[in-house]
Amino acid sequence: MKSFFLSINKCVEMSYFHSSLSFPSSIATLLLLFPSNMFNQKPSMAEDLQELILNLPREKNLDGTNSLYLFKGAWVSAYVLRAVDSFQRHFIAQDTDIIVASMPKSGTTWLKALTFSVAKRHLYDPRESPLLTTPPHELVPFFETDLYMKDPHPNLEQLPPPRIFGCHSHFANLPESIRNSKCKVVYICRNPLDQVVSFFQFTHQFKQDGTPLLSLDECYENICRGVHSRGPFWDNVLGYWKASLERPDKVLFLKYEDLKEDIISNLKKIAEFLGIPFTDKEEKEGVIEEISRLCSLDNLRNLEVNKNGVRPSGAPNSSFFRKGEVGDS
């Protein structure tokens, strides 16, 4: 019976991730028939946002476009602003949710793969992991650039627990229900010098329009002023750092450099934090090492699924796997 439920769980999960419209149930059909904002009696905040945007401080993004806005104390790209607003106002957390949070380019993709593998290991043997056929960013979608970008009121109820989401918002801006429920937040930070080099290289890889990119010096100057996507850096990092000290059962604060140095003990830390520590049997069977190998940069980078395809933002899947070095700056 248990395996029956596990396979149902798997089907629901995979059908959702492969296409948000392919969820094969009457609930999904109803959702298609009724627009998601039909039950929303209040005027849409998106309209108010349009007015608000006119008054928000605005600065250049790393890609040279004048498209960074200071929204609730965080610099956010114009294209994602509405989604950030919808997520922060509407998402309702469940106690079993897991949120993978970070500044961009701090090791998010890696942490998503690790967290997914640890949290769903009762469903998937690492040798048959969905990570072999689906990019980490699809298995663990971002609230902002995936879910709330597609729909200001996405229906996430049908996802089987634990639901795992990614997020670049500051801790102070997380929806109340994330901060007040029992859901868990795993945060990763990275040396800001490496983080900015990573971001700079990323932007250069797939820049398409003719706007001249900021030079590396200009990037550093902006970052020192706190002006960069999801910055200021210290506001983002320290929000989660303080929360991890005040509520260690709620927020786990990890460092990219520590994961590079000792992935095994950090995997154990993640599993313990999530309340599902590795058993002696699992340790003896080498499950931790297998997860570490599965999620390694070399392994993920060389999978066909991560060599091809493009994210909704236009970024190729391959652009999330570069050098992965400490001290690249």
Give me the residues that bind ligand PAP (CB under 6 A), please.
102, 104-110, 194, 198, 201, 295-297, 300, 320-324, 328
Residue (69 or 200) nearer to ligand PAP, CB:
200
Pick from 239, 101, 87: nearest CA to 177: 87
Distances (CA, A) of 46 to 69, 89, 241, 287, 313: 15, 11, 31, 46, 20
Q: How far is the CB of 303 from ligand PAP (least distance, A)?
A: 11
Residue (203 or 244) nearer to ligand PAP, CB:
203
Residue (112 or 121) nearer to ligand PAP, CB:
112
Q: How far is the CB of 237 from ligand PAP (least distance, A)?
A: 13
Residue (182 or 204) nearer to ligand PAP, CB:
204
Q: How far is the CB of 28 from ligand PAP (least distance, A)?
A: 28
Q: Where are the beta strands (DSSP E) in 13-67?
A: 58-59
Residue (158 or 318) nearer to ligand PAP, CB:
318
**124 touches 116 (CB < 8 A):** no
Q: How far is the CB of 211 from ligand PAP (least distance, A)?
A: 20
Cis amide prior to 212 (ω within 30 degrees): no
The 8-class DSSP code of residue 60 comes to -
d(CA 249, CA 243): 10
Q: How far is the CB of 178 from ligand PAP (least distance, A)?
A: 18
Using the Cα atoms of residue 302, residue 307, residue 311 and residue 316 in order, give the sign of their dihedral: positive
Residue (147 or 300) nearer to ligand PAP, CB:
300
Q: Where are the beta strands (DSSP E) in the chain?
A: 58-59, 68-71, 74-77, 98-102, 164-167, 184-189, 251-255
Contacts of 220 (CB under 8 A, 6+ apart): 196
What positions carry a catalytic annotation? 168
d(CA 101, CA 73): 17
Structure tokens, 58: 């605005």
Q: Dihedrals φ, ψ of 266, to 5°?
A: -75, -30
Q: How far is the CB of 214 from ligand PAP (least distance, A)?
A: 17
